[in-house]
Chain A
Amino acid sequence: MADSPVFALACEELERRTALERLAARGTVRIALKKAGLDVADVDATQMMAVLRRVLPAELKSRGIEEAERICEAIAATIAERRFEVAPDRASQAAETIGRFGD
């Protein structure tokens, strides 16, 4: 399954703004997404921005990258400027259905 364009952009920006190589940048973002219960194939902009603000800074710091918060905030701002077409993932669709069961 192809990666989400949001994931691809976040990885490109991380690679551009840090000393991380392509594989390391993708691996770091992938780990942060997994910790947040998200998947590289269908992460959307809102989800990625939450990960950039709440999960990725700690991952970057653990890899010795300074000013992690500022870098993540800059990447989040770049993502916020773009528009992406990402269909909701299977977990989000299931959660929406189960959410109705409480109505």
Chain B
Amino acid sequence: MDGTVLLALVGQVAFIGASLALGVKLIALWRRTRQLPELCVGLSFLLSGGLGYLAWFLLGVAMLHEASPQLRHALAASGLACSGLGAIANGIGNARIFRPGRVWPLVFVGMLGAGMAVGFGIYVRAASGHASFWIGPLLSLPIFVWGATEALTLWSVLRRRARLGLADPLVVNRTGQWGVASLAVALMVAITVASRLLHGVYPPAWVSAAGSGLCLVAALAIWLGFFPPRAFRERLARAYAA
């Protein structure tokens, strides 16, 4: 198997698996707590990173095997729906967690969500491969960039507090890894959209390799942040205690 194909396979499967696992975990948490942030972030990972990326993965396979335009259109439309809804859930979660009580984040997410809905409406009525496909990914980009910025800014604050014993090192780590995963997703979306504009439907090998590498980074960040192994947790505790 070609190295790029192997990287794509490993990266995408790891990212889809990690996203599904985290989505299910957070929705199970929401069933106990009934708190909005875990529901939103859980839906975001489940729909956008899990089911949405699974649809993109299957769409890639369908294109390689020259599947019927109807099947490709259905896969693309379901991927768009999952990714769009996931991005909106992510935005509402960001607003609730990082900017509680503020109106502008909800207006911001609402406007982007309305744009995504319009783009989706145009795409499902159009032919497979219609340019309106890219409206949703393009509008989801500011949400992921915003989420990454908020998480990494909070991580910077909490890291300083943790050195004084004022923040839990595990939470500091989770916040940072969440920021890294969000940033990797934002870069994946940006690279994919830019590649489509510059190179057409079939991206050059380096774009696929970069996208798959970012998938791996995001998967690793999700795993270390939300499912940290015991040895890693102990190492974190020792680092902050020192």
Contact = CB atoms under 8 A, between A and B. Distances in A.
Interface of A: 35-38, 46-47, 50-51, 54-55, 90-91, 93-95, 97-103
Interface stretch (B73-81, B170-178, B191-199): B170-178
B1 to A, nearest CB: 36
A95 B158 contact: yes
Interface stretch (B5-13, B35-43, B58-66, B210-218): B35-43
A47 to B, nearest CB: 6
Given A47-B166, A50-B165, A101-B41, 19 more contacts: A36-B161, A36-B166, A37-B158, A37-B160, A38-B161, A38-B166, A46-B166, A50-B164, A50-B166, A90-B98, A90-B100, A91-B161, A97-B37, A98-B154, A98-B178, A99-B168, A99-B170, A100-B33, A101-B26
Contacts, number: 73
Interface in B86-117: 96-100
Contacts of B175: 94-95, 98
Contacts of A101: 26, 29, 38, 41, 174, 226
Nearest to B29: A103
Q: Is the interface of A mostly helix, strand, loop or mixed?
A: helix
Contact of B174 (A35, A38, A51, A102): A102
B157 interface: yes
Nearest to B30: A100
Given A55-B164, A94-B97, A100 B29 contact: yes
B159 interface: yes
B188 to A, nearest CB: 22
Contacts of A90: 98-100
Contacts of B226: 101-102
Interface residues of B, number: 31
A36 B165 CA distance: 10
Interface string B205-231: 000000000000000000000100000
Contacts of B160: 35-37
A55 B226 CA distance: 31
Contacts of A54: 164
A37 B157 contact: yes
B138 interface: no
Given A91-B157, A97-B37, A98-B97, A36 B164 contact: yes
Contacts of A103: 29
B167 interface: yes
Contacts of A36: 160-161, 163-164, 166
A95 B167 CA distance: 8
A95 B164 contact: no
B157 to A, nearest CB: 4
B164 A100 contact: no
Contact of B171 (A38, A55, A93, A102): A102
Given A37-B157, A37-B158, A103-B29, A97 B97 contact: yes
Contacts of B166: 36-38, 46-47, 50
Nearest to A55: B164
A66 B98 CA distance: 41
B100 to A, nearest CB: 7
A50 to B, nearest CB: 4
